[in-house]
Amino acid sequence: MAKINTKGETARSPRSPKKTSQASRPARRPAAAKTETPYHHGALREALLQAAERVLERDGLAGLTLRAVAREAGVSHAAPTHHFGDLTGLVSELAAIGFRQFNAAMASACDEATSPLERALARPKAYVAYAQAHPGMYGLMFRTERLDYSRPSLHEAAESSFAGLANAIGALRQEPISGDALTIEQGAAIARAWSMVHGFTMLLLDGRLEDILERLPAGTTAEQLLEAILKSTVAAKFPT
Amino acid sequence: MAKINTKGETARSPRSPKKTSQASRPARRPAAAKTETPYHHGALREALLQAAERVLERDGLAGLTLRAVAREAGVSHAAPTHHFGDLTGLVSELAAIGFRQFNAAMASACDEATSPLERALARPKAYVAYAQAHPGMYGLMFRTERLDYSRPSLHEAAESSFAGLANAIGALRQEPISGDALTIEQGAAIARAWSMVHGFTMLLLDGRLEDILERLPAGTTAEQLLEAILKSTVAAKFPT
DNA sequence: TATGGCATCTTTACGATGTAAAGATAAGGA
DNA sequence: TCCTTATCTTTACATCGTAAAGATGCCATA
């Protein structure tokens, strides 16, 4: 509400107010002098996505508007339209980036695991850790209704995330999971794991686990609660 | 710019355009003639909440705006402000109603269960069933960031929901759960159950379980998938 | 090298929203 | 009867998303 907007709608710093003829600007967009802000940005699309990520993590989902992103990038409010079509487009592309970060974080966590038990716990722990480190991004990926999964980049990134999960469950059950057909037991195992971790994450981010955490022995963290849940779930598979 | 606004922002049907003196209106707000729409509505607060629920289930979360609710109720767009303060206020009161419906649905489902196994499954099944029957309401309760839990009605209704869950887990573990202190095992059991069911519901409503469902034997429904998950979880406690 | 097409970015405009503030209207107590 | 107050309407404004028209300069082609 009330958004002061202290710097005016369009805020490209060193732009002469009118009649910017091509004099007084370095010729041919020199990659060195970024401070001159050439008329044609040159990499606006990427700059907008980075600006959007900053706005998202700073102001939350509600603050992620087309105009705010444009302000953050220092261009006019309508500039994003040309690159993303509409807000759904920008948000979807940003979510795709989020999914890729997310997948990379889980993959690297799995790689670092040594024991079988560790490997089983690494993925869900990395899942929750990513969401805690990037709550805005996670909200963008799983809370917004404004995502267009028909966009190839988003579809592919989300699909890859799902495939990683399915493979992890397959490894845990020691039966490779086919790409096109699942038994009811396999489907239940995958859905259960995903539901549990996703639900835990959402409840945690929404502060709804506070009721539980504050009744636990003093100083118990969300990570410890998660670990207790996970261990009680997979304990049977890894006899101590 | 005259504001075309096809149905007029304020749409109380039989309102004389100017100078509505008290003649031509039934004296003293007669409870019989609802069609006359007395100036002072008499029960606007409840009417607005009912209108809001209709708008929510018809147009979804994005369609639930203060002005849309006012239109639906046939009053001016600023009328809700007096009763709810702002959009957060209205949305929070509606969410409280949702939590009460939600709790009642689960309680009645538990009452109808006969066997111990049935009783263990009744609650989560009713949970998901409510969300499927009232996706707007469920989204309002668990997806919106615009809820004010400091409001007594919402706080109480949500708290009651949590208490019901904790009791159900206590019954399942055959150890009554204290109101103020939990062991890590108890906390993990509660958080696990809630996370699983909540996560399943969110993924289902978001269509993210489609990838799994369509790989399952043809015709498998979400309810069957949920049942498979639940049974594999509590199977140990209920030897067939 | 000159020039025209076209991608890129800005300006302007419009309807929608939330919210504040002032005006209108009835209800109820003095 | 009159006045205070709660309730509802009108008006106003900043913000948002989006469309459309104008400005700018890159690049291929002549």
Residue range B111-151, pLDDT digits in tens: 999 998 999 999 999 999 999 999 999 999 999 999 999 99
Residue B216 burial by Cβ neighbours in a 10 Å radius (0-12, 13-18, 19+): buried
Amino acid identity, position B212: I
Give the closest residue to B217 by CA, choosing from A176, A186, A171: A186
Q: What is the DSSP string of A183-195?
A: -HHHHHHHHHHHH
CB A103 within 8 A of CB A94: no
How would residue B40 be classed by pLDDT, with cut points 50, 70 and 90?
low
Contacts of B169 (CB under 8 A, 6+ apart): B177, B186, B189, B190, B193
Q: Say whether the CB atom of A39 is under 7 angstroms from strand D.
A: yes
Quick check: B120 contacting A, CB < 8 Å? no
Please state, in angstroms and rounded to a whole number, the distance separating the CA atoms of residues A200 and A229: 10
Mutate to test the interface with A, among B154, B229, B231 (most CBs of A within 10 A): B229
With contacts defined as CB-CB under 8 Å, which chain B residues touch A183? 216-217
Find chain B residues with C-beta within 8 A of A62's C-beta.
145
| Closest nt to residue A18, judged CA to C1' | D23
Tens-level pLDDT at each residue, chain A (240 residues): 333 333 345 444 333 333 333 333 333 333 333 344 665 677 899 999 999 999 999 999 999 999 999 999 999 999 999 999 999 999 999 999 999 999 999 999 999 999 989 999 999 999 999 999 999 999 999 999 999 999 999 999 999 999 999 999 999 999 998 878 999 999 999 999 999 999 999 999 999 999 999 999 999 999 999 999 999 988 777 766
The tokens 């917004």 sit on which residue? A144
Phi then psi for residue A58, to 5 deg, are: -85, -45
Average pLDDT, chain B: 86
pLDDT computed for residue B172 by the predictor: 92
Could you tell me which chain A residue has the CA closest to the CA of B146?
Answer: A62
Rounded distance between C-alpha atoms, residue A110 and residue A121, angstroms: 9
Least reliable range by pLDDT among A93-97, A132-136, B22-26, B234-238: B22-26
B216 shares contact with chain A (CB less than 8 Å): yes
Task: Quote the tokens at residue B235.
Answer: 């199977």
Question: Is the CB of residue B172 less than 8 Å away from at least one CB of chain A?
Answer: no
Q: Would you state the pLDDT for residue A20? A: 34
For A230, other C-beta atoms within 10 Å of its C-beta total: 23
CA of B21 vs C1' of C21, distance in Å? 25
B207-214, long-range: CB < 8 A, 24+ apart: B209/A191, B211/A159, B211/A162, B212/A182, B212/A187, B212/A190, B212/A191, B213/A187
**CA-based torsion, B214, B220, B222, B226: positive or negative:** negative
Residue numbers in B near A87 (CB within 8 A):
none
* pLDDT (0 to 100) of residue A237: 76
pLDDT tens profile B206-228: 999 999 999 999 999 999 999 99
Cα–Cα distances in Å, from A19 out to A22, A115, A189? 9, 67, 65
Question: B212–A182: do the CB atoms touch at under 8 Å?
Answer: yes
Indicate the residue of A203, A217, A232 with minimum beta-carbon distance to B195. A203
* Protein residue minimizing CA–C1' distance to C25: B39
**Which chain A residue shows the shortest CA-CA distance from B198?**
A199
The C-alpha angle with vertex B210 and arms to B204 and B213, in degrees rounded to 5, equals 105
Nearest to A200 among B183, B191, B225 (CB): B191
- Inter-chain touch B200–A212, beta carbons under 8 Å: no
Rg (CA), chain A: 23
Cα separation, A61 vs A39, in Å, equals 30
- CA gyration radius, chain B: 23
Tens digits of residue pLDDT in A196-217: 999 999 999 999 999 999 999 9
The pair phi, psi for residue B177, each rounded to 5°, is -100, 125
> Does residue B117 reach within 7 angstroms of strand D, measured from its CB?
no
Mutation choice for B interface testing from A150, A173, A195, A224 by most B CBs within 10 A: A195
CB-based burial of residue B168 (10 Å sphere; 0-12 exposed, 13-18 middle, 19+ buried)? buried
Who among A162, A199, A206 is closest to B199 (CB)? A199
Reduced to 3 states, what is the DSSP secondary structure of residue A33? Answer: coil
3-state secondary structure chain B: CCCCCCCCCCCCCCCCCCCCCCCCCCCCCCCCCHHHCCCCCCCHHHHHHHHHHHHHHHHHHHHCCHHHHHHHHCCCCCHHHHHHCCHHHHHHHHHHHHHHHHHHHHHHHHHHCCCHHHHHHHHHHHHHHHHHHCHHHHHHHHCCCCCCCCCHHHHHHHHHHHHHHHHHHHHHHCCCCCCCCCCHHHHHHHHHHHHHHHHHHHHHHCCCCHHHHCCCCCCCCHHHHHHHHHHHHHHHHCCC
Q: What is the pTM of this model?
A: 0.87
Residue B97: closest CA among B57, B37, B63: B57
Q: Which amino acid residue lies closest to nucleotide C14, measuring CA to C1'? A: B1
